[in-house]
Homo-oligomer: A and B are copies of this chain.
Amino acid sequence: MSEARDGKFRDRLRERLLATAEGIVTEEGLAGLQARRIAQDADCSIGTIYNIFGDIDGLILETNARTLDELGRLLGAAARRSEGRDLEAWLTTLALAYLDYATANQRRWRAVFEHHLPETKEFPQEHRENRRRMLALIEAQLEASINEPDARSVAANALFSSVHGIVLLSLDGKLLPFDPAKSERQIRFLISRAVLGIEHTAQG
Contact = CB atoms under 8 A, between A and B. Distances in A.
Q: How many copies altogether?
A: 2
Contacts of A114: 114
Interface string A168-204: 1110111111000010011101101111111011000
A186 B165 contact: no
Given A113-B174, A193-B201, 9 more contacts: A113-B172, A116-B172, A127-B174, A154-B189, A157-B182, A158-B190, A164-B165, A164-B168, A193-B194
A166 B162 contact: yes
A131 interface: yes
Contacts of A50: none
A45 interface: no
A40 interface: no
A175 B113 contact: no
Nearest to A175: B131
Interface of A: 113-114, 116, 123, 127-128, 131-132, 135, 151, 154-155, 157-166, 168-170, 172-177, 182, 185-187, 189-190, 192-198, 200-201
Given A194-B194, A200-B197, A186 B174 contact: no
